[in-house]
Structure 1
């Protein structure tokens, strides 16, 4: 049976995620797993840690995939927006064929939610939705409120799972959002944005109306960015079909390095193995090593230049180079 995956942006309200699980369950669509995009903001990370404990224990959802976006706060630049858009598209592309995707954009930063919704337009999902709740209920679901109940699990659960047996104005509601999946048209869209003569007149007209092409069939500035994102994602190696592995030799920075290795695996669905290697001098970087490996050098907040070997699913030089650029963007944001 095809598994159902809840994909969501996470902010400082863990209750948005548990409410989404409850509301889907109410409709007979209980998710088998939850994928959460999160920033490095301390309150957001605390929200994530709470959910990583609560979802398996209370909701019997042991498959929780935290996906770091490599940012401490908001998506505050064009570069950061492009990076998150690539990441959102890459995750949807990795899971869409083998899973039913339910995408919630109620949590997290507004820009993250908007970009995830746009990614759904290109790569599709079974449903795209928002969670509405009365203001008083929203306030009760914030991490600042929930941390008061760390020693009272029953009260914590009550706040994370407000009763659905209430009038519509006093309970959370799932609000479906309309979208059109453009995935079947993706090759034609890329042809049109790339200026290929084979692109159909209908697709060009559609892209002109969307503001991605000008009336002369030339890509606008935003059209160029969208084309770059989609081209990058389409070139990425396929998603792994096996459980990933991490091998870090024992040393006093092992925990730090293992956390970073798992962050890379969650960020990149095409990484199948990460191995720690001998530390060397140099600058943070990501290099491709044929036929399918990436060498990542990062300081991770220390004076040491750590070195990791990532084994990927790449089978061509083009896929490996796309993987290198994808990982490089994440490492750059983490190191910055």
Structure 2
């Protein structure tokens, strides 16, 4: 008899945080109530903006004060938005690091991404990471009444600020749980969750691509293991240079190769 039969798989959720913190806890609540996994950890990606940091702190307390006592891991970027090629690469690097940490350090058997809540560029890059690193699901939270949520957040603004500056945020949250829980954990039927139909890359293909992109001296096309069509696409996107017989990475391609190595491929 399989000792793991009926056991829920240990899962982690990775989510950017913006100025609408409930979308993260709503996603966590949805995963838990799906009954398919045991959500033990949530990795939060915050920017250095104070309002975003307030949101992240509120999410941390909400998760820990919830009946599920979920652990959170906060990662803060040193910029306010992904507004350059460099920050885009840095963000992808951060996400790959987080995915690896959740699997290796926190022993997650399933990793899910929530693209709601953060900046638009973060959401796009996060979805791309989900495809490249073959996570177990990429989701978007939809709130039918956004204006209502915004009004509730506005009414709670002072309380959220006090929570952020409190010497004991968790105790402060629990003291005002009647207000915070209504905001952070609304009824499950008051919002919906959309699963993005991504097609994940196989680990073998990503590993092969990484080997090519890390070889600055170049690789003979006949021996690289990549299809001619794929090479053509990579050249067109300025990830590879090709002279017809040998391919070598561009600067951008080499950086992507390092990211692939960083993720464990």
- Report the TM-score, using the length of structure 2 for normalisation: 0.74
Q: Is the contact made by 1:86 and 1:230 (CA closer than 8 Å) also made in structure 2?
A: no
Contact map agreement 2:25 2:62 (CA 8 A) in 1: no
Residue 225 of structure 1 corresponds to 252
Instruction: Identify the residue that residue 58 of structure 2 maps to in structure 1.
Output: 50
What does residue 14 of structure 2 align with?
7
Deviations 1:251-272 (A, max 9, x none): xxxxxxxxxxxxxxxxxxxxxx
- Tell me what 2:23 maps to: 16
* Matched position secondary structure for 2:188: coil
Q: 2:195 is matched with which residue?
A: 176
1:124 equivalent among 134, 147, 159 = 134
Determine if contact 1:208/1:214 at 8 Å carries over to the other structure: no
Deviations 1:213-247 (A, max 9, x none): 578575686xx4244133245158x8xxxxxxxxx
Q: How many residues align?
A: 227
Check 1:128–1:235 CA distance in 2 against 1; reply closer, same or farther (3 A cut): closer
Decide whether aligned partners of structure 1 residues 123 and 205 sit closer, same or farther in structure 2, where only a CA change above 3 A counts.
same
Corresponding residue for 1:275?
none
1:68 equivalent to 2:76? Answer: yes
What are the ranges of 5 or more consecutive residues in structure 1 without an aligned counterpart? 166-170, 239-336
Structure-2 separation of matches of 1:201 and 1:185: 8
Do the aligned partners of 1:90 and 1:233 also contact (CA within 8 Å) in 2? no
> In the alignment, what sits opposite 1:190?
210
Cα distance, 1:180 vs. partner? 2.6
Preserved contact between residue 14 and residue 141 of structure 1 (Cα < 8 Å): no
Partner residue of 1:156 out of 180, 183, 186 = 180
SS in 1 for 2:199: coil
Larger fraction in helix: 2
User: In the TM superposition, what is the alpha-carbon distance from 1:156 to its structure 2 partner?
Assistant: 2.3
Please, which of 81, 86, 98 is the counterpart of residue 93 of structure 2? Answer: 86
The 3 A distance-change label for structure 1 pair 19 and 232 is closer
What's the offset of the Cα at 1:184?
2.6
Q: What secondary structure is seen at the aligned counterpart in 1 of 2:48? A: coil
CA contact (8 A) 1:4 1:30 kept: yes
The counterpart of 1:35, out of the listed 39, 43, 51, is: 43
By how many angstroms is 1:67 displaced? 0.8
* Secondary structure of the corresponding residue to residue 116 of structure 2: coil
> Which of the residues 25, 34, 37 maps onto 2:32?
25
